[in-house]
A and B are shown apart, each in its own frame.
Chain A
Amino acid sequence: MAIDLKKTDVVIVGLGAVGGVAALPLVRAGLDVIGLEAGTWLSPRDFAPDELRNNFRGWPQSAQKANGEIPTHRPNASSPYSPRLPIHPMMNAVGGTSLHYWAQSWRLNPWDFKVVSEATRRYGAARIPKGSTVEDWPFGLEELEPYYDKVEYEVGISGQAGNVNGVIDKRGNIFEGPRGRDYPMPALAGSEFTERMGAAARKLGWHPFPGPAAVNSQYYDNRPGCLYHGFCNRGGCHIHAKNSTAVSTIPKALATGRFTVVTQAIVTSVAVDEGSGRVRGVVYLKGGEEYVQPADVVLLAGYTYENVRLLLLSKSKPFANGLANNGGQVGRHYITHHTGATLAALFPFDLNNWYGLPAQGVAVDNWADDNFDHSGLDFIGGGNLWVYSDRRPIGAASMSTFGEAPTWGSNWKAFIKENADRWNLAYLQKTTLPYEDNVLDLDPSMKDSLGFPVIRITADNKDNEKRLGAFIQDKMAQWFMEAGAIAVERGPMGTMGPSTHAYGGTRMGDNRETNVVDRYGFAHEVPNLGILGASVMGTSGAHNPTLTAQALAWRTAEHLTKNWKAIAN
């Protein structure tokens, strides 16, 4: 028998990057909030500088709930399944993947909100790829700017502004949309290598700048600045200089006394009142017991795959095909950031990339989004070029030999002895469009440890993205060669399996025929159900999604506080 708990104002499912942010404006407005998290609290002692553990054995996600629900993947509906990933890309914990992510904290550029109208205006409607379901966002960057600002200050972001109220500062990203003020902290320090790359970009006439990071560049919010020791890549920070929600917004929310965190709570469905079609709370498992947590408003804040899965698993009389899915839009407009088509470079001198962090780098946005003329090109969109200092020994020794040496034996050993610190890899985030046949649904056979189906991804890169990938590889090769590289190697295009940058599935838009949530993040079909995370984003941009997902989460939460009576009834 399920145990019925006392009703609360708001229940948040998942306390990661977005749930951990949304709690703060809610409790500050006086609402009582319960946060349900499948993982536990982790401490600085959990974050050892251990490459094998972090990067190869996938701790902690390999030991968690997440690993039972790794999505399956097939490139298209008639192709065989890809080998299943052995380790889930995301982790469970209070703070979620914001604990061990790379902490790059980008705003989207203005174009990302208006892909359809801007591409049509500049190049004609025929340039929108056939089969793409892309739409303009229901608002522009200016609507989201105040929320980016709130998150940058509450979470703590280091960076160099490039456009404050329309005044361009060439030290920052000259292509960024106007921001109301500077970042709360200066950018992380560059390394000599990233500065060398910056100088090479300037020689090419490009505009390099330090990337924004949710990492303290100096003492901020009672936590210390970064010590650049490395191990930030899939590792948490042992001194709390990385600004996960576990050390930033969640403690602030707890301090109000209105926020309750329940750990090791596995939500299995959202409960629906069959008469009204509104949600009335959630059902979760903890310690072998089943609980029902009633709430006036439910906010889903899992990762893209879990938001979609929970909706599809929550079937009821009014929603026979899954919650908020009478329009058949849950799982559609799925995107993963196109990060295949990498580019590796070999230099004739040591780079000393052994220390630093993946957010300590230099960016070029000249080839991102629509920052360049696509008139003579056969694609739309673009990529962010990003070079950073981050190297550990197993990864270093696993380097490509660039066709210069065998792959084992004495000659290989001599090659890596000389070159282990002489290469760099750019992974090149590129805009990716949604397509009719790139979708998420429930796998017909693969189940998690509780017996529930996992998500099945059916998705592959399309022509527009492949052409874009090759174009961006050329630009990156040009940049590395200008900085003194002697060889480059192109990575394969890859396909669209489970990713740390997964978008869509519960897209946001005014048109309820093609979108799951409205412009504020509440389900068109279920007025007291809000959805947080990159699953609401309709375009990817060429930059990491977390800050945008956090800004949207804050905006959804604020909208709820301002319209509490209308939404909560």
Chain B
Amino acid sequence: MPNEPDDGARRTVSRRHLFKQAAGAAVALSTTAPALVTAQPVAAPTPPAPSPQASRLEALETLTAAEADTLEAIVARLIPSDANGPGAAEARAAHYIDRALTGPLRGSRGAYAAGLAALDAYAQSTKGAAFVKLSAQDQDAVLTDLEKNVATGFAPNAATFFNLVRTHTIQGTFCDPYYGGNADFVGWDLIGYPGIRMVVTADEQRMTARPKPVRQSAYADATFTMKGGSHGHRP
């Protein structure tokens, strides 16, 4: 029965090794998957009021405006909007990360503060401007330097910060939209995930089946929500 809590924060292995392990991370037995969450209790996220209008608002819950701008620019390059459809920016992965950094990912708040500052300093020294001001091509060059762990000024190193942000960007793009990412189901649509079904028939498990996408959060089902809450709330 294999195990997988993993948000990759403490990975110091090479990217290639990381990827080889990423497959293993889905396995409940693999016990080598380090993650970020500390031993502190996990606080339930506190979503804003349930009115459709309010649910579109995105407070900066912990990031500064400048940090958020830089993070937005990073996620937009990691999973760009292109011919294959919207990417991490449209999925609101940066909003997911901001919210999670006040809760289950709070152990990484310091790493974001230091890493985003180091990224800007590195962009300034190698490309002559803050990261958000660079062309997409230059932004990619900076991120490549992080990924290859040749960028300087990061603690413990650039690749660790790159992998942290990449892991959280994937979470924010493909998670249940309740958590503030995967907005308009852009992540699930991208990879063809047909959504959460409470009953799955044998036909729906045929390899050629293409079940109609259920574009709903798990928490659209009142079974799993607080009883006093607004049932059927769609983030």
Judge whether A465 is part of the interface by a CB distance below 8 angstroms: no
Q: Given contacts A67-B39, A395-B25, are A416 and B191 in contact (CB under 8 A)?
A: yes
Which of A50, A191, A238, A344 has a CB less than 8 Å from the CB of B205? Answer: A191
Name B187's closest neighbour in chain A (CB-CB).
A393
- What's the Cα separation between A414 and B87 when bound, in Å? 11
CB pair A87 B35 closer than 8 Å:
yes
Judge whether B64 is part of the interface by a CB distance below 8 angstroms: no
Q: Which residues of A contact B143 (CB under 8 A)?
A: 408
| Distance to closest chain B CB from A91 (angstroms) | 11
CB pair A58 B31 closer than 8 Å:
no
Q: Which residues of A contact B204 (CB under 8 A)?
A: 355
Among A163-171, A262-270, A346-354, A365-373, the one that faces the other chain is A346-354
Q: Which residues of B contact A355 (CB under 8 A)?
A: 197, 200, 204-205
- What's the Cα separation between A101 and B219 when bound, in Å? 23
Q: Which residues of A contact B3 (CB under 8 A)?
A: 89, 234, 499-500
Q: Which of B171-223 contact A (CB under 8 A)?
A: 171, 173-176, 178-179, 187-188, 190-194, 196-202, 204-209, 211, 218-219, 223
Q: Given contacts A45-B224, A492-B21, A500-B2, are A425 and B26 in contact (CB under 8 A)?
A: yes
Judge whether B124 is part of the interface by a CB distance below 8 angstroms: no
CB pair A349 B207 closer than 8 Å:
yes
Judge whether B4 is part of the interface by a CB distance below 8 angstroms: yes
Which of A104, A238, A417 has a CB less than 8 Å from the CB of B191? Answer: A417
- What's the Cα separation between A344 and B27 when bound, in Å? 11
Q: What is the 8 Å Cβ interface bit string for chain A, positions 46-57, against chain B (1 contact, 0 not)?
A: 011111100111
| Distance to closest chain A CB from B97 (angstroms) | 13
Q: Which residues of B contact A350 (CB under 8 A)?
A: 192, 207-208
CB pair B202 A189 closer than 8 Å:
yes
A contact face: mostly helix, strand, loop, or mixed: loop
Q: Which residues of B contact A344 (CB under 8 A)?
A: 23
Which of B30, B36, B83, B166 has a CB less than 8 Å from the CB of A342? Answer: B30
- What's the Cα separation between A259 and B220 when bound, in Å? 38
B contact face: mostly helix, strand, loop, or mixed: loop
Interface size on A, residues (CB 8 A): 93
Judge whether A278 is part of the interface by a CB distance below 8 angstroms: no
Judge whether A62 is part of the interface by a CB distance below 8 angstroms: yes
Q: Which of B77-126 contact A (CB under 8 A)?
A: 77-80, 82-84, 87, 104
Which of B104, B188, B208 has a CB less than 8 Å from the CB of A393? Answer: B188
- What's the Cα separation between A55 and B174 when bound, in Å? 13
Judge whether A85 is part of the interface by a CB distance below 8 angstroms: yes
- What's the Cα separation between A398 and B36 when bound, in Å? 16
| Distance to closest chain A CB from B154 (angstroms) | 17
Judge whether A42 is part of the interface by a CB distance below 8 angstroms: no
Q: Given contacts A409-B77, A409-B140, are A48 and B218 in contact (CB under 8 A)?
A: yes
| Distance to closest chain B CB from A543 (angstroms) | 11
Q: Which residues of B contact A398 (CB under 8 A)?
A: 22, 25-26, 167, 170
Q: Given contacts A49-B218, A227-B198, are A417 and B80 in contact (CB under 8 A)?
A: no
Judge whether A136 is part of the interface by a CB distance below 8 angstroms: no
Name B163's closest neighbour in chain A (CB-CB).
A407
Q: Given contacts A233-B28, A339-B2, A500-B2, are A354 and B193 in contact (CB under 8 A)?
A: yes
| Distance to closest chain A CB from B31 (angstroms) | 5
A interface, CB within 8 angstroms of B: 44-45, 47-52, 55-59, 62-63, 67-68, 70, 82-83, 85-87, 89, 101-104, 189, 191-193, 196, 227-230, 233-234, 238, 336-337, 339-340, 342, 344, 349-352, 354-356, 358, 389, 392-401, 407-410, 412-414, 416-417, 420-421, 423, 425, 427, 429, 489-492, 494-495, 497-501, 544, 546
Known: A337-B29, A398-B26, A495-B32. 7 other contacts (CB 8 A): A102-B2, A192-B207, A233-B2, A395-B25, A417-B84, A491-B24, A546-B1
28 contacts between A and B (CB under 8 A): A50-B219, A51-B175, A56-B171, A58-B5, A63-B42, A70-B39, A86-B37, A227-B199, A229-B200, A234-B28, A344-B23, A355-B204, A395-B4, A396-B174, A396-B193, A398-B26, A398-B170, A407-B147, A408-B79, A416-B190, A427-B2, A427-B24, A489-B20, A491-B21, A491-B24, A492-B21, A494-B30, A494-B31
A-B complex: 5 closest residue pairs judged by Cβ atoms: A420-B191, A102-B1, A87-B5, A48-B224, A339-B29
